[in-house]
Amino acid sequence: MTWQPQSLPADHPSVASGRVGVLIVNLGTPAAPTTSAVRRYLAEFLSDRRVVEIPAIIWQPILRGIILNVRPKKSAHAYSQVWTEDGSPLAAITMRQAEALAERLAGEGVVVDWAMRYGEPSIPRQLQAMMDKGCERIVLAPLYPQYSGATTATVMDKAADALRAMRWQASLRVMPPYHDEPLHIAALAEDIGAQLDALDFEPEVLLLSFHGMPKRTLELGDPYHCHCMKTARLLGDALRASGMRPAMRLRTTFQSRFGPAKWLEPATDTVIAEEAANGTRRLAIAAPGFSADCLETLEELAIRGREQFVDECGGEHFAALSCLNDKPVGIDMLEALIRRELAGWI
Ligand SMILES: C=CC1=C(C)c2cc3[nH]c(cc4nc(cc5[nH]c(cc1n2)c(C)c5CCC(=O)O)C(CCC(=O)O)=C4C)c(C)c3C=C
Ligand SMILES: [Fe+2]
Ligand SMILES: [Fe+2]
């Protein structure tokens, strides 16, 4: 007997189904480079218990009473220095990454979109939008090469919160961290190598600067530090294997210290000062922990790093290299990693 599709009763709600989606996610960013927008963004970000692991009863008065009254103005000024016609660099680049991946996966009918963990477009909004388009299966891809509780895990927390409120949940797969993924290391080595080749000076040292974390997170078992160190080691090996600049030294550092607690060391600004004091005059910095350029790379490294090394410490040549962003070499790598997660679904 052949199965006959039944016609739907007139009062049946319309249902979209049968599609596959990919949602790439990055940290989040303010909606505008203004004090009020930065305050809103920081209030959400710094209230996440995975980001600041101090009991709320102690932390919230400090956050609301001091930090949100002081930091937003300073941070808004920093954001205003890197803001683009398309908005925050982090949001603009993440959107272009999604567009590039959508083109690559269009042939398979995959819906690709992007979200920010803090601010807009939010993870719940984007998951719902994908489900409204009929995505029953969604690959969630946090664009953090190195895992940390403060970044990767919070993406899952937020997605789970969104699913908790849904009657009909999508099936989720989560792309794992890719800190030691050979395709990622090869993409970084190719891109960094090309950027170094294009410089008009030979760096004596290349700093590999990762976003910092409180040192306590390492002691509590967060793998972030180990992931960063492994990326740095494999990237160093790959750069050396390509026969590149045997005399150039590589050093791994941690930037963006926040608050009074001890953070992972050595700090990027400390190492910049130390290198200059020891006679280094030509320095380059890459940021292999960031999949997209953002405040931390464009303002902290490219602007303040240069001011520190050249204007304050007597350095002569300085370059802050760009992240993989939406360059074809980076999109090739992300496409391959995402296709792996899509196996059996497309
Ligand atoms: C790449 C991984 C990141 C980790 C790990 C991380 C941990 C972490 N960050 C803060 C505090 C701040 N981070 C800020 C900006 C920021 N952080 C990351 C990435 C990681 N953070 C990115 C990509 C950005 C840039 C966002 C943008 O809009 O461009 C900020 C805001 C800016 C400022 O006021 O300085 C804060 C604050 C903590 C406390 C933390 C770990 C516990
Ligand atoms: Fe951060
Ligand atoms: Fe470690």
Q: Could you tell me if the CB of 326 is within 6 A of ligand 1?
A: no
299 carries a ligand binding annotation: no
In whole angstroms, give the CA distance from residue 218 to residue 224: 7
Q: Could you tell me if the CB of 83 is within 6 A of ligand 1?
A: no
ipTM, two decimals, is 0.96
Around 312, how many Cα atoms within 13 Å sit in the side-chain half-sphere? 13
CB of 296 within 8 A of CB of 290?
yes
Q: Which atom, in ligand 1's list, is nearest to the CA of 290?
A: 1
Q: How far is the CA of 294 from the centre of ligand 1 (A)?
A: 10
In whole angstroms, give the CA distance from residue 297 to residue 210: 10
Which domains occur in the chain, in start order?
A: 19-177+328-341 (3.40.50.1400), 182-320 (3.40.50.1400)
**pTM summary value:** 0.95
In whole angstroms, give the CA distance from residue 36 to residue 308: 29
Radius of gyration of the chain (CA): 22
- pLDDT tens per residue across all 346 residues of the chain: 445 556 778 888 888 888 999 999 999 999 999 999 999 999 999 999 999 999 999 999 999 999 999 999 999 999 999 999 999 999 999 999 999 999 999 999 999 999 999 999 999 999 999 999 999 999 999 999 999 999 999 999 999 999 999 999 999 999 999 999 999 999 999 999 999 999 999 999 999 999 999 999 999 999 999 999 999 999 999 999 887 788 899 999 999 999 889 999 999 999 999 999 999 999 999 999 999 999 999 999 999 999 999 999 999 999 999 999 999 999 999 999 999 999 999 9
Q: How far is the CA of 185 from the centre of ligand 2 (A)?
A: 22
Task: Tell me how many degrees the CA angle 252-333-50 measures, rounded to the nearest 5.
Answer: 55
Q: How far is the CA of 257 from the centre of ligand 1 (A)?
A: 9
Q: What is the dihedral of CA 130, 132, 136, 138, to 10 degrees?
A: 10
Ligand number, closest to the Cα atom of 226: 3
